[in-house]
Amino acid sequence: MRSLSSDGMRQLGILLKKELCQLLASRSLLAMLLIFSPLVGYSFIQAVSLFSEASRSALQHTELAPGMNPLDGVLVPTLGSLYLVTTLLFPFVAIRPIGMERQTGSLKLVLQFPGSVGLLVAAKAIAVFVLWVGALSPALLALCFFGGMGGHIHPLELVPLLLGHALYAFVILGAAFLISALADSASTAAILILGLTLGSWVLDFAAGSQSPGLLRDLSQLSLTASIRSFERGLFSFAVSARLLIMGVALLTSTAACLHAGDTFRSRAKRSAGILVTAILACFLVSAVPWYRDFSEDRRNSLPPEDETALRQMTGHLKIFVFLSPDDPRYRDLERQLFSKFRRLISGVEIRLMDTGKTALFGVGGGDDYGLNRYEYEGKAEESRSTSPREILPLLSRLAGKTEQGTSSFFYPGYPLVADAERFSRFSFMA
Amino acid sequence: MLEVEGVTKRFGEVEALGGIGFQLRPNEILGLIGPNGSGKTTLMEVVSGLLPTDSGSVHWEGSHLPPKKRKDIIFYLPDGVLPYEDQAAIKVLRLFAEIYESPSQARKLAVEELGLGPVLGKRVGALSKGYRRRLLLALALLSTQPVLFLDEPFDGFDVKQVIGVMSLLRKVKSTGRTLFLSIHQLHDAERMCERLLLLSGGRLLGTGTLPDLRRQAGLESGDLEEVFLALT
């Protein structure tokens, strides 16, 4: 990659300053911050309140304590408000740098500035992203407050959590830029980008509990689904790289669309080239099975011996699941086992079978409902269990192995009874 | 010298410019006149590289000047833009001065000659129409390209202000820059420009000095308005 010359750096600095000044003076940013601060405060207070209620029982019955995890109980719900704001309000801030300049005609002046269009787009993107990071402060303040109340925060768990939200915001930013470069006015761009973010949310929400099919497959592509693994403390190289590639491709396409003097055909050609390259790159990075479990309770990992044994299963493992997607047992299996199998066993195929049960109060499809079937190299076993303690030995038997993993790891849990009401004042001040 | 050859631009079925060609000589003031919708703004945007052409080319000092390189030579000031309305005028001026590395004399000239001093601290959105026009002109003066394209530079000014702006533009010319002005008021064009291009319906109907245009119109005498009416 060609390094930026000192002239380019000087121009970037000037443009960055200009973009920051404009954004700081904009009402959309002010509105986002005015809504975000109380929203964080409310989410945090609610999360701490629920966590405290559950902690009371855990303090009385120590066997319940390992279930008291601040990541699920406080960190994720508090940053959930960030997700809402990034989905619903951040697009209005992100369309502004290009949308308003298009609308007022100043883009014609800016495009004549020395330096490339790429530099211009980069300055705008950096400015918006810097302000997004700045807008995190109420959420970070809430987490500091939680620590101050005696709450436990495992710092490493924050790494994937914040990274996931940052990558999600980066993609939204890229999409907002591209849409505002294509749309005639800032208001049209606002409607389109909101349609995209809400569409992605609805797709995940509506299709997530559907039976297997195209809609369910599509829901896996939703942006909302992509940050879920980060919320579980899991860093996935493939997911991170895919989001990063998407964001960069959208910004590069924006620069291609803004190239003054280019015909529509040449812009479309360049954008298509960028899109195809990005899809290929996403496809390539998806094949890199590199993960790191940052969660303190190691929820995304199995005992090391089991992980080694599963990695050695190079054959084709078929799992036929006779459960409805909204059945809690299926969710347990997915969380505790299937998601890990997909990372560890290259040849795993998990099929969610049609059970005829489509609604929450639907009737199960006969005696086989809940009886899942595992097939590996001509051998098969069936089990109704959702516990790793039963399923892992079952797989060992199928693989013809006798040794089983034993884990000495113990997560103590961090119950906390606290009152976060005092934070409400801080959140409004922030 | 800037040379434009056979520039054609279509918007769907409509031909906005049909094979326009002209020369912009060094250090001259060339006026672009024509009725509303004749293609004046389109011509300026196409030649300055902001709009793609369907055919035609632009040369600078004998070498082909591709659209991407035109911003190094030409600064185009569009009509009716309102840059950074929520920023103070001084900030916008500073931005342009910094990005173009304009000499401090140019900043002083822009602010003093255009009388922007009293409104430097005001938001651009709060400026009157006249001051907005002055601010835009100041931005053009802060650019450093050798050729300036100004779309309706006298629009929004009263008679006295127009005379002031004309004097300022002549000073700009004296610094060695070349000016290409799109002017709606024929009287102003006649007073300001050394040569004129007459555009109508996307076609070039006449080019040259006022006597040249008179000859092309078959008139022995008459001002630009009469020539314009005879040619269009």
| Nearest-CB residue to A261 (from B68, B82, B85) | B68
- Min mean pLDDT across A214-228, A315-329, B5-19 is at A214-228
* Interchain CB distance below 8 Å, B87 and A263: no
The model's confidence at residue A359, banded by pLDDT at 50, 70 and 90, is: very low
Superfamily for domain range A304-398: Glutaredoxin (3.40.30.10)
Q: CA B127, CA B133: separation in Å to the nearest integer?
A: 9
The model's confidence at residue A407, banded by pLDDT at 50, 70 and 90, is: low
In chain B, domain spans: 1-73+178-232
CA distances from A319 to A287, A352, A366, A411, B115 (A): 21, 8, 19, 30, 80
Distance from CA of A280 to the nearest CA of B (A): 29
- pLDDT digit string, tens, across residues B150-188: 999 998 888 888 999 999 999 999 989 999 999 988 999
Residue B51 has pLDDT above 50, yes or no: yes
Q: CA B110, CA B140: separation in Å to the nearest integer?
A: 9
DSSP A51-67: HHHHHHHHHHSGGGGGG
Can you say whether the dihedral through the CA atoms of A308, A388, A204, A129 is positive or negative? negative
pLDDT for position B82: 85
DSSP β-ladder status, B63-64 and A234-236:
unpaired
A261 neighbourhood in chain B, CB within 8 Å: 49-52, 67-68, 70
Residue B54 has pLDDT above 70, yes or no: yes
Q: CA A170, CA A305: separation in Å to the nearest integer?
A: 38
Structure-model confidence comparison of residues A280 and A360, the more confident one:
A280
Q: CA A426, CA A41: separation in Å to the nearest integer?
A: 8
Q: Which residues on neighbouring strands pair with residue A185, listed in sequence order?
A: none
B122 neighbourhood in chain A, CB within 8 Å: none
**Which one, of A51, A118, A44, lies nearest residue A77 by Cα?**
A44
**Domain covering B1-73+178-232, topology:** Rossmann fold (3.40.50)
In chain A, domain spans: 6-293+416-429, 304-398
Residue of chain B with shortest Cα separation from A266:
B52
**Which one, of B134, B143, B138, lies nearest residue B162 by Cα?**
B134
Which run of H or of E encompasses A412? none
* Interchain CB distance below 8 Å, B86 and A26: yes
Residue A426 has pLDDT above 70, yes or no: no
CA distances from A296 to A308, A413, A417, B191 (A): 21, 10, 20, 80
Which run of H or of E encompasses A5? none
| Nearest-CB residue to B87 (from A14, A22, A266) | A22
Residue A2 has pLDDT above 50, yes or no: no
Task: Give φ, ψ of A67 to 5 degrees.
Answer: -80, -10
- How far from each other are the two terminal CA atoms of chain B, in whole angstroms? 28
Residue of chain A with shortest Cα separation from B51:
A261
- pLDDT digit string, tens, across residues A327-349: 889 988 988 899 889 888 888 99
B140 neighbourhood in chain A, CB within 8 Å: none
- pLDDT digit string, tens, across residues B212-230: 999 988 888 888 888 888 8
Task: Examine the predicted complex and report whether its ipTM is higher than 0.90.
Answer: yes
- pLDDT digit string, tens, across residues A135-175: 999 999 999 999 999 999 999 999 999 999 999 999 999 99
Measure the CA angle with vertex A166, ends A193 and A39; round to 5°.
75
Write down how long chain A is.
430
Q: Are B18 and B202 in contact (CB under 8 A)?
A: yes
Q: CA B143, CA A305: separation in Å to the nearest integer?
A: 69
Residue A264 has pLDDT above 50, yes or no: yes
- pLDDT digit string, tens, across residues A79-133: 999 999 999 999 999 999 999 998 888 999 999 999 899 999 999 999 999 999 9
- pLDDT average, residue stretch A47-72: 91
Residue type, A248: V
Q: CA B45, CA B32: separation in Å to the nearest integer?
A: 13
Tokens 């303040």 locate to A141
Q: CA A179, CA A253: separation in Å to the nearest integer?
A: 10
**Which one, of A228, A208, A45, A72, lies nearest residue A141 by Cα?**
A45
In percent, how much of chain A has pLDDT > 90?
55
HEC assignment per residue over B75-142: EEECCCCCCCCCCEHHHHHHHHHHHHCCCHHHHHHHHHHCCCHHHCCCEHHHCCHHHHHHHHHHHHHH
| Nearest-CB residue to A112 (from B75, B87, B95) | B75
- How far from each other are the two terminal CA atoms of chain A, in whole angstroms? 40
Q: Which residues on neighbouring strands pair with residue A293, listed in sequence order?
A: A234
Q: Are B168 and B113 in contact (CB under 8 A)?
A: yes
A26 close to B (CB below 8 A): yes
CA distances from B224 to A353, B25, B188, B214 (A): 84, 21, 10, 8
pLDDT for position B177: 93
Tokens 């693994």 locate to A229
Q: CA B133, CA B165: separation in Å to the nearest integer?
A: 11
Q: CA B56, CA B49: separation in Å to the nearest integer?
A: 12
Q: How does DSSP classify residue A337?
A: I
pLDDT for position A1: 42
